[in-house]
Chains A and B, each alone.
Chain A
Amino acid sequence: MTFQTHDARILEVKELTPREKLFTLRFVDPEINRNFKYKPGQFVIVDIRGFGEFPISLCSTPTREGYFQLCVRRVGRMTKYMQELKEGDIVGIRGPYGNGFPMEKMEGSTLILVAGGLGMAPLRSVLWYALDTGKYENIYLFYGTKAYEDILFREEVIHLLKHGEDMKCHVKLAYEVESPSCIYLEKGYSPRVCKGVVTDLFRGENFDVENTYALICGPPVMYKFVIKELLDRKLSPGRIYMTLERRMRCGVGKCGHCIVGTSTSIKYVCKDGPVFTYWDALSTRGLI
């Protein structure tokens, strides 16, 4: 294993929101493409040659082979370069890295996906994996966004909001900024669409805690509040999974930027995570 990356061609660039673009990629070498296996929750390192590397989670599902997708928000220098790329351009990719969500372990259970903003990206991988395999009891998606325009994968989410029940997929949306589109959605799908924050979506919901897993991804401030809702419903800390972000430079546990924890519990987010349980967070200070 080296830090060499493999050429991947951008097949499609789709503007999801004014800030986020969805890149569909495929490795140029068919052999590498065939062997590229990943799990929901894992990430890759994107290499824009001559400019640098950045880590990003995979937002496509391994059940759909032949391509993979990355949702890139423009937040810094590297993501700005990335967003300027067009169909047909080449980037380097190495990975996949990290542990990913334990999809097999959770088979037969109900999944509660709690996404905040960009946190929808890694959870989309779980969502589609669960829908494609059909091995899960029920799938709940609680998704909190700022405004209607910020809803990532809007068409997919709204499609599932309308027709998901047939696939035992229950979508709930919370938005903060009112707009005609949101009010329209709210009228049609109240109380599944409401103004508020993601924790408001838990109101009135109770789960069979023995057979439920929660998977969370969102901004750092979100975790504490979402976890409280889950614990209030007596969900075990071992059944609460969350995927975390740190400055992962190498992705393989060498560069030290993603080290968290204290003298009894040092962990590398890039290789011990980025998926951790709430129990990990209880026993590893600084994780959330």
Chain B
Amino acid sequence: MRYVKLSQENFEEFFNSLKRWGKLYAPVKKGNIYSFQHVENSSEIAFDYTRTMLPLKKFFVKPRDEMLKLKGGKWEESNGAEPIILFGVHSCDIHGLEILDKVYLAEPVDPYYKRRRENSIIIGISCMPDEYCFCKSLGTDFAMHGFDLFLHELPDGWLVRVGSVKGHEIAWENEELFENVTEEDFHHFREFEEKRANSVKRSLNKEGLADILDLAFDSPVWKKYERICLGCGNCNMVCPTCRCYEVCDLWVNAYEAVRVRRYDSCFMETHGLVAGGHNFRATRLDRFRHRYYCKNYFDPESGFNCVGCGRCDEFCPAKIEHVKVLDEVREGLQ
């Protein structure tokens, strides 16, 4: 890793220079929630945000995404991706994006996702957890890769970790804005990281979790929560790693149609429905349990499919808490 320092007085200039690389998006406060929005000025950015409602996936797998256009009976590929810079991304979201990468960039590569990923620059920012975060227990509270630059807050500026060639090029172009990191900066960096790590209140006990869940297939806890869950699919929409999509063709006019994909949710009854009306996940119990299995699938190479961002808890209208459900399932087995 390469480390440089960006002083507070140089921040504005650095920020403005980023616009050369693409359209800038950063967390902005709207009412009580945060969301990644197009920004022109750094004053619009909510640097101390907790989490945006929709994660980064909205830039790569869009809620409604046009794939192909039908013209004269032939499909044409939809337009390419514009270069974007995502500024102020939290570590958990970077991990979330890496999980999506694993799916969408695996053979056969999803061309839309790949194009957008290649045209994006990720600039991370350090954060302070709130009561919903359980990232530390999943090891996603710190990003070692998956970003171009990562900004860590210092009393008088930012310690910048340069994580990619592209990040290096950005730093290179702005060389006069950066300075060397001092011992004192490292001290502050460590202090901040310790404070951050100690502020994570919620923790997921992942010891043997995958096997425990597997054994608890008939646990009464699923039945309890099935009755509480509204089946609205909100948790799917806001989850940085939920990625189910549905495809449909829509007519634009009598001669032109588009093939679009849009977010789907495993809480919808139609999710497991096949031709002829047979449904492989017919009850809400099946669907509720399925989501927990999908999120807590343990991949030996990349860990769980959950990054502990806390979105599913914060935006659940039934106030179901992810960690609590899993703890109860675990307790139910003893």
A1-B108, A264-B210 known; A50-B257 Cβ under 8 A = yes
Asked if A20 is at the interface (CB within 8 A of a chain B CB), the reply is no
Task: Give the complex CA separation of A262 and B215 in angstroms.
Answer: 10
Asked whether, in the complex, the Cβ of B247 is within 8 Å of the Cβ of A250, the reply is yes
Asked if B333 is at the interface (CB within 8 A of a chain A CB), the reply is no
Task: Give the complex CA separation of A51 and B108 in angstroms.
Answer: 24
Asked whether, in the complex, the Cβ of A263 is within 8 Å of the Cβ of B106, the reply is no
Task: Give the complex CA separation of A2 and B110 in angstroms.
Answer: 7
Asked whether, in the complex, the Cβ of A75 is within 8 Å of the Cβ of B276, the reply is yes
Nearest A residue to B245 via CB reads A255
Main DSSP-derived SS at the B contact region = mixed
Asked whether, in the complex, the Cβ of A49 is within 8 Å of the Cβ of B249, the reply is yes
Asked if B73 is at the interface (CB within 8 A of a chain A CB), the reply is yes
B272-302 to A contact mask, C-beta < 8 Å, 1/0: 1111111010000000001011101110000
The smallest C-beta distance from B127 to any residue of chain A, in angstroms, reads 28
Asked if A67 is at the interface (CB within 8 A of a chain B CB), the reply is no
Nearest A residue to B243 via CB reads A256
Asked whether, in the complex, the Cβ of B214 is within 8 Å of the Cβ of A253, the reply is no
Asked whether, in the complex, the Cβ of A263 is within 8 Å of the Cβ of B214, the reply is yes
Asked whether, in the complex, the Cβ of B246 is within 8 Å of the Cβ of A1, the reply is no
Asked if B244 is at the interface (CB within 8 A of a chain A CB), the reply is yes
Residues of B within 8 A of A184 (CB): none
Main DSSP-derived SS at the A contact region = loop
Residues of B within 8 A of A260 (CB): 280
Residues of A within 8 A of B272 (CB): 246-247, 257
Asked whether, in the complex, the Cβ of B297 is within 8 Å of the Cβ of A253, the reply is no
Nearest B residue to A248 via CB reads B274
Asked whether, in the complex, the Cβ of A264 is within 8 Å of the Cβ of B214, the reply is yes
Asked if B154 is at the interface (CB within 8 A of a chain A CB), the reply is no
Nearest A residue to B272 via CB reads A247
Given A5-B75, A220-B278, A256-B244, 12 other A-B residues pairs in contact with their CB atoms under 8 A = A4-B68, A4-B75, A245-B278, A252-B108, A256-B245, A260-B280, A261-B293, A263-B209, A263-B298, A264-B211, A266-B294, A266-B297
Binding site for B on A (CB under 8 A): 1-5, 49-54, 73, 75-76, 79, 90, 92, 219-220, 245-247, 249-250, 252-257, 259-266, 285-286
24 contacts between A and B (CB under 8 A): A1-B107, A1-B111, A3-B111, A4-B68, A4-B77, A49-B73, A50-B70, A50-B257, A51-B249, A54-B275, A73-B275, A75-B276, A220-B278, A247-B271, A247-B274, A247-B280, A254-B103, A254-B245, A257-B264, A257-B271, A259-B290, A262-B217, A263-B213, A266-B293
Q: Which 5 A-B pairs have the closest CB atoms?
A: A1-B108, A256-B244, A50-B257, A263-B210, A263-B213
